[in-house]
Structure 1
Amino acid sequence: MYFVKTYRSYIIILIFTLLWQTWTFAQTNQVQFGKNRVQFHDDFDQWLYYETNLFTVYWYGKSRNAGHKVVRIAEREFNDIIKTIDFKTNEKTEFLVFADITDLKQSNIGISDAFEYDGDITKTVDNKVFIAFDGNHNHLRRQIREGIAAVYLNNLLFGSNLQEMVQNSLMLSLPQWFKTGLISYFGEEWSSHYDLRVAKVLSNKRIKDFEQLAAADPRLAGQMFWNYVGFNYGKNAIGNLVYVTRINRNLDKGFQYVLGNSYDNIIQSVFKYYKSRSDEHIKELKNIDRQWKPVTRMRTKEVVTAMELSPDGKSLLMVTNQISKIRVRLVDLKTGKSKTLLKYGSKNKIQAPDPNYPCIAWKNDGKNILICYERFDKINLREYDVGTGKHRSQLIPGRYQRLYRIAYWDDRNIVINGTTDGYGNIFLYKLSTRESTEITTDPFDKLDMTVAGKGSSRSIYFSSNRPDASLTRVSGDSILPVGSFNIFSLQQVTADDGTSGWSMAQHTFNDNFSERLPYVDEQGILHFLTNEYKNNAIVRVGPDEKYRAGTSNVNLINLPVVIDQFALSGKTRKIYLNIFDGERYRLTSMDADRWVASDVGLSKSPKEFDYTVPGDRQFQDSSAVINARHTVFRKVETEIPENMKFITKYGDITEEETSETVRPERANEPKVSGANKMMPLNPLNIVPYRLRFKITDSGVNFDNSMLFEGMNSYIGGGESNLFPPFGLLLKAQLRDMFEDYRLEGGVRIPVALNGNEAYLVYDDLKYRLDKRVALYRKASNERLNIGNISTQVRKNIILMGQYDVKYALDQFNAVKVGLTLRQDRSFYKDTDLNSLDKPNETDQRVGIRVTYILDNTLDKGLNLMAGTRVRVFGEWVKQFEVSFDKKFNFNFNKGHMWVGGFDARNYMELGRHSILATRVAGQVSFGTERILYYLGGSDGWLFPGFNNETQTASDVNFAYQVPAPSLRGFQYNIRNGNNYGLISNELRVPFLRYLSRRPISSTFLNNLQLVGFFDVGSAWTGWNPFTKYNPLNTVYISQPGIDVKVNYFRNPIVFGYGAGIRFLLFGYFIRLDYARGWDTGNLTPPRMYISLGADF
């Protein structure tokens, strides 16, 4: 002890030095919330993986074929990306391949974060890339490219090990557009769609420079910038700029060294460049804005994701999405009124909704509606009777992983466009027996399926990236279907031998642009969307016509907006459009007299972004028969002509570009262009995943936070046993690859070296019911001065075990049930004769707690968030006694306690950066034992003060004592009791962000915040805080020979107000608050608080 007193200052300096080396960020408020991952199935029980020199790809049963494609695409795309970034790392990129977006959202990886997923940019966590297959291999390729770019950019900018990552994150502060825009640049090339978005954003008069545009849409601004740099300076400049910026940890120097100009001048040039390109488009948008006719009233942020016109053209069936709140609405087109047929989901600003569901279809007679939707990872089919309003439902068989389109074929059968075993195909599904027959069985993508015609003239139209309509058998392992989409149709035919089958025909021929969303009207005229022209256009061709690229005098509608969906009615002469005007989606209508010839006043997509257009080819009408009974393609001894092969911007894959040799072509296999061939996989390299752990989080922290939301035993009360002493917390966490299992352990040693704390926590998150087992031990030595004679040392030991189970209701809501066993043991060390007579004290208790948790918050920055958090709990605690001293003794008849409480928080965004945070909290305890709550002070207060003048009820048996949440302006114990209530308000303003038009490069300055706050609360004993018997209103005065009891009224409610500043220093978030308090009409002197950790 002498050593500690003599060298205490040196020990503290050493501790801070160690902390500066580790840069921990583990400071949080005491109450734990958190979001959920909901597992609806056990498909993740068996994972497999395939490892190459560069990547490790993981998949499970349903995502097997998609996983195989990911291996090949990643190997193929890697060189193109790395050539631009000009950076390599020893860390392998790990791809986690999911069968669909629903499965992706069930993964536990990154569970401690909000796991934001907007659907537009590939999600990555560390070196893990999340891939969800949506039936379109072009989208799959984009996700892979974005994932590789994101992982390598993270390693380049922030390093691959923990020390580099923390140091660079502290020293290098980049604007959001810098990284997100570059990832998008690698994933998808510039197109007219981006031109439209830029024009719409720039039409806003409030957008006057690049920084304002970046604040409004960071991803678009970044895509604009990197496209500008690549086009004007060359792609090599992109990697150089990123590298130099990282080396100098300064954006300005990167611009100056690589681009030869300052940051301000470059972004000004970028803004002017796109402004000049968009002027004409902006005029077109302003002119057409006056022509839109709304179809029905839409809610705020509600967009249409699917729509179908009724056969009589009088009603519109549509699917809407309002921030993940899904509705199926039936609109009367004459009145504009709508009726909601189906509604599910909740508003979710964090994760993008599923774009595929619901699927909708009209029956030919207009009397029935078919709705296909997904709930709890099961596909439901509902048939709705329009006349009666009744419906009947059934589950789609589990072999279907995902449905994209549905349509009636006849009264008994429907046609399904969906995915099974990782491939999208078309099926005939019998409603009564739930049996299905495969119409197509090939690896090419098939989307936008619809049924046209009646009776024997019925046909199935769809868009596909297949090379032609030949039915040559193609192995899914041999090619990569990433070509452009054309329109095809299937007709049911009867062969000469009486066998029923299907014939296929091709209606559009385009190698460089895509045709989507086919629709055939009553006259057999085919309509479809094409992106051959600027934005995209609706084209119509006659029943016997074929559409080829460059065809002139084609009737079409070309608007200065992106047409997302359309529906036509020949009876009402109306066209209904769901358009994107660059800013938002609109549902509108127009008269069907807007058709013009393709060579009149139309412009193609900007040539600087076009692929190379091949020479004209001879039109060939190709058709064949698919045998529906055997559901396989008939082999045809033919080769695809040279001028009909896929044309892409990639060259052939050479042997050097792949890790394995390409196998010889099989006989009778079509010769697809070399750019679309893929490297084979060696089946011997596919290995089952075995559980393995690695350290994912370790560090050293200096704090005095309560672990396990713990309570201290009430032994005489007072501050001596109220706050854990400041100490050095060393902890480490082990996680398995998929973060289904976590093991965390830690030890905290006080600076005074007068005790220790240790804990071990194991989490099992594999299934929907999460389980946790926790062990905790705390030992502390407390020095008690007995007059002037001697000093006694009391040792307190807490042993606690917890078992919790949590059931996730959805991503934001959960119910948790916990069982706690606790033993508090206290004894005196033999320091003098009086200590020998002191009895040991042991308290044993068991508790059962039920908790409801809501958390839909979204992090907006350090100490800044938006959304709501709620935690409500009830707990029953029972004292018991188990001993084995002389004989076994068990006594369950001792005291008990009931505890209830809540903590509700709301974070409201004010402008672009500021947050108004409100907290309402309270707890009550009753029974033969109770908890004593101390009101006042500040969470994480470095030098806490305690008010010894406030009286405590002497007739109440307190078992524990706990500091209530912050009420600044006072010391702890300005009020106490077995109940408390508190309201806190904070306005958090990162003011320097408003003063600078440019991103702030300094992490310290970027996180500097001004805070204004107001706290009001009370703690009291009994049921009524205003009773005259409240101990707060009683003061005892003792003098020799006389004891006086004085009663006077004190307002049980106190409040404090003030201002503060928040900043990040040496990895610690520090709060400085200057506050005054109001107590029974009197203002207290100003008080300064220095605290560690984030605000509530």
Structure 2
Amino acid sequence: MRPNRIFHMRTYLLSLLCLLLSATVVNAQGIQVEFGKNRVQYHDDFAEWSQYESDNFVTYWYGEGRFIGQAVVQLAEYDFQEIQNVLEHRINEKIQIIVYTDLTDVKQSNIGSEDTFVNNAGQTKIVGNKVFVYFDGNHRNLRKQVREGIASVYLNAMLFGSNIQEIVQNAVMMNLPVWFKEGLVGYVGERWNTDLDNQLRDYILSDEFEGFELLAERDPKLAGHSLWHFIGQQYGKSQVSNLLYLTRINRSIENGFLYVLGMPYERVGLDWAVFYKDRYSVEEQRRDTLSSAPLAIKNKRNLPVTRAKISPDGRQVAYIINEIGKHQIYLYDIAKGTSDRIFKGGFRNAFQATDYNYPIIDWNPNGQEIAILYEKRDVAYLRIHNVRTGKHTEEPLSSEYQRVYSMSYVNPITMVFSATVRGHSDIFLYYTNTRQTQRITNDFWDDLDATYVEIDNRRGILFASNRQDTLLKQEKLDSILPIDDFDLFYYDLEDRSEELVRITNTPYANEREPMAVDTSWFSYLSDASGIYNRASGYLEEYIHHYDQLIQLEDGSEIRLHVDSAMTSLDSTLIDTIIIEPVIKKRAVTQPNTNYHRNILRQDNARRTNRAVQLVLENGQHQLHLFQPAPSDAISSAAETGFQQQRSAEVKKATVIEPKKKQQAPPSSRQKPVMSILTESDRVSVDTVRVDQSRRDTGKVDIDNYLFQSEFDDEESEPTVIIVQEPENENEPEQVRIITSDRQLSDVMNRPGLRTKKPYEFRSSKIIPYRLEFRTDFVTTQLDNSLLFDGLNSFAANPDGFNLPNPGILLKANFKDLFEDYEFEGGVRVPTTFNGTEYFVTFKDKKRRLDRQYAIYRRNQQFSSESLSFVPSRREVNILLGQYGVRYPLDIFRSLRATGTLRRDRVTQLATERSSLQVPTTSEQRAGLRLEYVFDNTLDVALNIKNGSRYKIFVEGVKKFDLGFTDGVSFDLARGAMGIVGFDARHYQRFLKHSVIALRAAGATSFGSERMVYFLGGVDNWLFNSFNNEIPIPAAGQDIAFQALATNMRGFDLNIRNGSSYLLSNIELRMPIFKYFSKRVRSQFFRNFQLVGFFDVGTAWEGNDPYSEENPLNTSVVDNSGLVSVRVNYFRDPIVAGYGAGVRAMLFGYFVRVDYAWGIETRVVQDPMFYLSIGTDF
């Protein structure tokens, strides 16, 4: 009978093992298990691609993205020279731009799907020149993406080089902070604007403001963009390229700042804080704060609120919260102050861009239903939710809509959409009862924020657009790019006129978010002052011009402009001439608010005159109620500092009063002559004299309209001429005559004068894309990992498991342009030159069901002792073929299946006469492995993750015999094996930079053949040793394969073995040097980690570790076959180990050093030292 203390120890260890297993769940064959996230293709639109090669780019698009692709070609060529000038760099290769129709399609692309923070010793990553962009209904945002993509390619070439030699030289030495590159890409991609200014203002004026470094950690792109903007404003834009050049030459950002700006990087950060703090503090004093208290909505974690709509009776507010892809819609009762969730969808996704466009909501005019337009698996659904009953109806939206951007009810069965169809964002009427669509606009201009209004008892649509005129006509993109600011337009639903009413015409501002206030007034948001504030307006009728109606004797009529004449009409045919006024509508607008923060969205309940507005203040999205008072006008708000700088980009302007010309006959009419300008009275753009009727978008003076005639008109106002001084003295000045507000808008809305024509797009140059492959990486490194599951044939090596000897792994990877197809081939040559391995894999990820093909071969020789003095030698040859499929359920979850055909051949080499009699054995097996994989881990640093991942698998292996000696023979009745296992890991953030990593794994094999697992040691152990004291199954038993169960530190390999095992590990990984400095330049110290660990596990035969079938406690002593003694004694099957270690990058390898003490049968063993390579456990 065993002592009680043994029983207590066994109970304790079992409890501890179960505790660790309950905390998390990893792998049957070592720790290098393939998890991974997925890209899901929901459609077949990627089947055919088109390409267009222009002067500096090769652009690709698919399906109905032709017009988006054309716009990208023209935008890229339009800005190419300017970006080169800003960065002062050139590259020889053409940049490849891949165009997607929307953000959802980008997420389905395979480009960039490889994992980061993997061991890349000796790997030369070919820095690509691929840029992928998508359309969100706004060509200005599309232009921003194109510019940022070009800038990223250029920065990679500047900082890391454009050929393999330069990349190898610079890849390790460049340790730039994230804000440096991301901020510079943003700086080149778009000018400083109202949205960026609002975000930075809110941070700097908040209580959490602690300087540049904290913002760089929270939002590196905003921090970097603001710093580069600050440098450009304070020191000149030329210093940006100087900083880039010297940063690369000196291999140090600190030296770059010191040499170019004459001060250290830290001082520039302090000056940045003072600059913006002073500016925003002064601006804050001149503006109003929100007087109302924010609604107490359910948002404790301060997540982004994307949309808010108030019910028609003004009693409830529906709002949307989006947590990096997981969206929830709440209904807030204003009287009760409570929120109820009515809809949820999506999932948290920190790895791809968050889609803040969906879902879209709007209240039905009946006040009882909310329309919810959301997207699921790339299909848009329209759900009608009844707020009283909680029931809903749902149907997919017509597939013609590529994406919807806004939705507004016209009546209970009709909606107005702003949506993209065939690459154009236009306005549509959608009938919910018939699912039919009626198109309102059909051109290449961007039409957004469509909302239904009733003004003067007439139904209409207000929307924002960057169109240049008011005539509705079918237009295709040609020589004009739709990249101007947004103005508001009105479309009358009663007469369906082909002419719109222009509400605003502001060259330096954007107007968005229109809404109806009552039957006379409407409201909208404008950033004319540099902050989005509310303005209001109404429509009035006026006499646009006069027509003459000529009635002829035969009863027909001719209508002409009153100033026109018909020279060929016989006057005797005229009966009557009537002069009629032509009445049109115009808008009268005025500002209403002067808030200190942007109003992001607004919505009004017209029945009760109660409205809601969304603002960002103190880092929180807040909802405020207010009562619209459109007639309460305020004086124009002063411009912010950024808005003033925006105007100052046109450096000098000269106003020339031209002499009045004498009228000349039509044949001698002269065009304006461009002459050399003298430096007379220079004024800024803010004081350029422009016709007041053109500046005030609300009032239209009919006397200032010009009608074409055969005579020259006198110029009553001066011509505005813009003179841009060159940055270099030797360059000539650029002169441009400004004759309209729209031309002045062109000047103000881009960094430089828009004097060049867009690139001429020729449809004849569009060709189908042909498959092409490029080298993705080439690897030459030291490696001893287990390839292809690490299954060794037990018959080939019955004396124990032999880890691969360290060898030189040569591996090359090739991918096509879209990374849908991937070839990988390699060879590993051991340092002993025994056991060379070859493998080739091919992956087909074109469609949702991913496919993989693989071939693997290894040939290795083994030596063992024999009864004679001549060692026995045998050669083991493994030939393996695999076919695998992966079906992704979403980005984190997938179902996988792998079929395997394997042949293990053992040949006895001739060392003596008896060895010639040993036959060659060949074992053939077919296997099928099914897996369910989940992985949402986020790599925050090398070997440090956050999140969870796990795998559950079932495998079946069937032995068969296929022979061709005497014909073809096939036999399946040879043996079978089944395996069930799990593998999971969880990473919990700890003390900001550290992580607590939990791991558990287990597997069991069963059937007429089994697997034997050897517990002990670590993965990729460089100087491993095998424990021969623990008995292993004898040759001839039903053991088919052998595998490792690691990590179990404190012991050699084979501290326990059996056909089943359970194992758990816990590690504390602490990058200690990150706690002493925010910026650790050295790669060694940046990735240096202290590790504390505890391992516990067991392997056994039979039903449980304490089963009598377990041979662990039995030892057979054999004296040359004369005397055989069977000894039984007690060993606790559960072992544990604890210790500490370090992790560091050395010579491009992630080296793991562990020092561990093992615990076996309550006894602490002597410590052991482990040296291995590889990440994670």
With normalisation by structure 1, the TM-score equals 0.88
Q: 1:583 matched to which residue of 2?
A: 619
Separation in structure 2 between the aligned mates of residue 154 and residue 1075 of structure 1, nearest angstrom: 43
Separation in structure 1 between the aligned mates of residue 716 and residue 1024 of structure 2, nearest angstrom: 82
Task: Say if 1:773 and 1:803, in contact at 8 Å, map to a contact too.
Answer: yes
After TM superposition, give the deviation of residue 788 of structure 1 in Å. 5.9
Match of 1:1046 among 1107, 1119, 1127: 1127
Match of 1:736 among 795, 804, 816: 816
Match of 1:220 among 211, 215, 222: 222
Q: 1:35 matched to which residue of 2?
A: 37
After TM superposition, give the deviation of residue 381 of structure 1 in Å. 2.0
Separation in structure 2 between the aligned mates of residue 643 and residue 334 of structure 1, nearest angstrom: 58
Task: Say if 2:794 and 2:1039, in contact at 8 Å, map to a contact too.
Answer: yes
Separation in structure 2 between the aligned mates of residue 592 and residue 1022 of structure 1, nearest angstrom: 78
Task: Say if 1:969 and 1:1086, in contact at 8 Å, map to a contact too.
Answer: yes
Relative to structure 1, is the Cα distance of residues 467 and 676 closer, same or farther in structure 2, using a 3 angstrom cutoff?
farther
Deviates more, 1:764-773 or 1:688-697: 688-697
Q: 1:1066 matched to which residue of 2?
A: 1147
Q: 1:25 matched to which residue of 2?
A: none
Deviates more, 1:748-757 or 1:131-140: 748-757
Task: Say if 1:469 and 1:622, in contact at 8 Å, map to a contact too.
Answer: no
Match of 1:834 among 900, 914, 931: 914
Q: 1:708 matched to which residue of 2?
A: 788
Counterpart AA for 1:374? E
Separation in structure 2 between the aligned mates of residue 466 and residue 395 of structure 1, nearest angstrom: 31
| Equivalence map 1:829-868=2 (5 Å) | 829-868=909-948
Relative to structure 1, is the Cα distance of residues 340 and 646 closer, same or farther in structure 2, using a 3 angstrom cutoff?
farther
After TM superposition, give the deviation of residue 465 of structure 1 in Å. 1.0
Q: 1:810 matched to which residue of 2?
A: 890
Q: 1:417 matched to which residue of 2?
A: 418
For the pair 1:925 / 2:927, whether they are aligned, the reply is no
Q: 2:111 matched to which residue of 1?
A: 109
Separation in structure 2 between the aligned mates of residue 834 and residue 404 of structure 1, nearest angstrom: 82
Counterpart AA for 1:565? R
After TM superposition, give the deviation of residue 32 of structure 1 in Å. 0.7
Relative to structure 1, is the Cα distance of residues 1092 and 742 closer, same or farther in structure 2, using a 3 angstrom cutoff?
same
Relative to structure 1, is the Cα distance of residues 672 and 1006 closer, same or farther in structure 2, using a 3 angstrom cutoff?
closer
Separation in structure 1 between the aligned mates of residue 1037 and residue 314 of structure 2, nearest angstrom: 76
Query: What SS class does the counterpart of residue 606 from structure 1 fall into?
Result: helix
After TM superposition, give the deviation of residue 1061 of structure 1 in Å. 1.3
- For residues 580-599 of structure 1, the C-alpha deviation after alignment (integer angstroms, 9 at most, x for no partner) is 22623233435657997533
Q: 2:877 matched to which residue of 1?
A: 797
- For residues 671-690 of structure 1, the C-alpha deviation after alignment (integer angstroms, 9 at most, x for no partner) is 99965852211223222110
Relative to structure 1, is the Cα distance of residues 325 and 957 closer, same or farther in structure 2, using a 3 angstrom cutoff?
same
Counterpart AA for 2:427? I
Q: Aligned-residue CA RMSD in angstroms?
A: 3.4
After TM superposition, give the deviation of residue 1033 of structure 1 in Å. 1.9
For the pair shown, which has the larger CA radius of gyration, 1 or 2?
2
Q: 2:742 matched to which residue of 1?
A: none
- For residues 158-199 of structure 1, the C-alpha deviation after alignment (integer angstroms, 9 at most, x for no partner) is 112344324312111111111111111112222354444334
Separation in structure 1 between the aligned mates of residue 926 and residue 1016 of structure 2, nearest angstrom: 29
Task: Say if 2:689 and 2:720, in contact at 8 Å, map to a contact too.
Answer: no
Task: Say if 1:301 and 1:322, in contact at 8 Å, map to a contact too.
Answer: no
| Equivalence map 1:345-360=2 (5 Å) | 345-360=346-361
Q: 1:540 matched to which residue of 2?
A: 536
| Equivalence map 1:42-121=2 (5 Å) | 42-113=44-115
Separation in structure 1 between the aligned mates of residue 719 and residue 789 of structure 2, nearest angstrom: 66
Q: 2:182 matched to which residue of 1?
A: 180
| Equivalence map 1:200-279=2 (5 Å) | 200-202=202-204, 208-279=210-281
Relative to structure 1, is the Cα distance of residues 728 and 283 closer, same or farther in structure 2, using a 3 angstrom cutoff?
farther
With normalisation by structure 2, the TM-score equals 0.82
Counterpart AA for 2:166? E
After TM superposition, give the deviation of residue 305 of structure 1 in Å. 1.5
- For residues 545-600 of structure 1, the C-alpha deviation after alignment (integer angstroms, 9 at most, x for no partner) is 99xxxx99945223222221122345555442221226232334356579975338
Separation in structure 2 between the aligned mates of residue 1086 and residue 58 of structure 1, nearest angstrom: 60
Structure 2 residue runs of 5 or longer lacking an equivalent are: 1-29, 118-125, 543-586, 648-684, 699-706, 727-744, 748-753
Separation in structure 1 between the aligned mates of residue 462 and residue 150 of structure 2, nearest angstrom: 36
Q: 1:198 matched to which residue of 2?
A: 200
Separation in structure 1 between the aligned mates of residue 612 and residue 418 of structure 2, nearest angstrom: 24
Separation in structure 1 between the aligned mates of residue 725 and residue 428 of structure 2, nearest angstrom: 35
Separation in structure 1 between the aligned mates of residue 63 and residue 1085 of structure 2, nearest angstrom: 49
Match of 1:1005 among 1085, 1090, 1100: 1085
Q: 2:634 matched to which residue of 1?
A: 598
- For residues 255-313 of structure 1, the C-alpha deviation after alignment (integer angstroms, 9 at most, x for no partner) is 2222222233333333333333344578999x969953224222535432222222111
Counterpart AA for 1:587? L
Separation in structure 2 between the aligned mates of residue 703 and residue 131 of structure 1, nearest angstrom: 38
Q: 1:324 matched to which residue of 2?
A: 325
Task: Say if 2:512 and 2:524, in contact at 8 Å, map to a contact too.
Answer: yes
Query: What SS class does the counterpart of residue 768 from structure 1 fall into?
Result: coil
Separation in structure 1 between the aligned mates of residue 791 and residue 538 of structure 2, nearest angstrom: 79
Deviates more, 1:839-848 or 1:429-438: 429-438
Q: 2:522 matched to which residue of 1?
A: 526
Deviates more, 1:337-346 or 1:85-94: 337-346
Relative to structure 1, is the Cα distance of residues 649 and 457 closer, same or farther in structure 2, using a 3 angstrom cutoff?
farther
Q: 1:889 matched to which residue of 2?
A: 969
After TM superposition, give the deviation of residue 887 of structure 1 in Å. 3.2
After TM superposition, give the deviation of residue 776 of structure 1 in Å. 1.0
Relative to structure 1, is the Cα distance of residues 247 and 852 closer, same or farther in structure 2, using a 3 angstrom cutoff?
same
- For residues 695-714 of structure 1, the C-alpha deviation after alignment (integer angstroms, 9 at most, x for no partner) is 21212121111111130011
For the pair 1:685 / 2:765, whether they are aligned, the reply is yes
Separation in structure 2 between the aligned mates of residue 697 and residue 618 of structure 1, nearest angstrom: 62
For the pair 1:504 / 2:509, whether they are aligned, the reply is no
Give % identity: 39
After TM superposition, give the deviation of residue 448 of structure 1 in Å. 0.6
Q: 2:1163 matched to which residue of 1?
A: 1082
For the pair 1:907 / 2:909, whether they are aligned, the reply is no
Q: 1:140 matched to which residue of 2?
A: 142
Q: 2:1074 matched to which residue of 1?
A: 993
Deviates more, 1:1009-1018 or 1:136-145: 1009-1018
Task: Say if 1:29 and 1:1093, in contact at 8 Å, map to a contact too.
Answer: no
Counterpart AA for 2:1053? Y
Q: Count residues with an aligned counterpart.
A: 1022
Task: Say if 2:258 and 2:265, in contact at 8 Å, map to a contact too.
Answer: yes
For the pair 1:515 / 2:516, whether they are aligned, the reply is no
Task: Say if 1:906 and 1:918, in contact at 8 Å, map to a contact too.
Answer: yes
Counterpart AA for 2:454? G
Relative to structure 1, is the Cα distance of residues 101 and 1048 closer, same or farther in structure 2, using a 3 angstrom cutoff?
same
- For residues 83-122 of structure 1, the C-alpha deviation after alignment (integer angstroms, 9 at most, x for no partner) is 121111113211111110011111111121379xxxxxxx
Separation in structure 1 between the aligned mates of residue 320 and residue 198 of structure 2, nearest angstrom: 25
After TM superposition, give the deviation of residue 615 of structure 1 in Å. 4.1
Bigger relative contact order (CA 8 A; separation at least 6)? 2
Match of 1:786 among 866, 870, 873: 866
Separation in structure 1 between the aligned mates of residue 632 and residue 177 of structure 2, nearest angstrom: 45
- For residues 594-650 of structure 1, the C-alpha deviation after alignment (integer angstroms, 9 at most, x for no partner) is 997533875545344323456444547999xxxxxxxxxxxx9999x9999999999
Task: Say if 1:447 and 1:464, in contact at 8 Å, map to a contact too.
Answer: yes
Separation in structure 2 between the aligned mates of residue 565 and residue 362 of structure 1, nearest angstrom: 15
- For residues 889-931 of structure 1, the C-alpha deviation after alignment (integer angstroms, 9 at most, x for no partner) is 2111121111011111112222442222111111111111111
| Equivalence map 1:130-169=2 (5 Å) | 130-169=132-171
Task: Say if 1:439 and 1:502, in contact at 8 Å, map to a contact too.
Answer: no
Structure 1 residue runs of 5 or longer lacking an equivalent are: 1-27, 116-123, 495-499, 624-635, 653-670
- For residues 133-165 of structure 1, the C-alpha deviation after alignment (integer angstroms, 9 at most, x for no partner) is 001011011111111111100111111234432
Relative to structure 1, is the Cα distance of residues 643 and 97 closer, same or farther in structure 2, using a 3 angstrom cutoff?
farther
